[in-house]
Amino acid sequence: MYLRQSWLDRRLTFKPIHRKMTSVRLGEDHWDKIWLPDTFFRNEKRATFHEVTVDNRLMRLNKTGFVWYVTK
């Protein structure tokens, strides 16, 4: 299952260096510095995470502070 979330955090707005660069992909070193929603499934009976050598995550930040987060 893929979990995709998006939200707007105005504290993360930035001015692009180039006109065409309107968003950036954030690396692993930034994931712990940005607020993430604490998402849960209310009626879950059992839950596990697939453990792999590296986290299956993607975080993209738009110049307006729009964050797009995907995890698997």
pTM of whole model > 0.85? no
What pLDDT, in 10s, does the model give residues 22-51? 899 998 888 888 898 888 888 888 877 777
Contacts (Cβ under 8 Å, ≥6 apart) of 62: 22, 23, 68
How far apart, in Å, are the Cα atoms of 8 and each of 18, 24, 30, 36, 72?
22, 15, 17, 11, 21
Q: Alpha-carbon Rg of the chain, whole angstroms?
A: 14
Which residue, 10, 14, 59, is CA-closest to 33?
Answer: 59
Q: Residues 11-20: pLDDT tens digits?
A: 999 998 887 8
What is residue 70's three-state secondary structure? strand
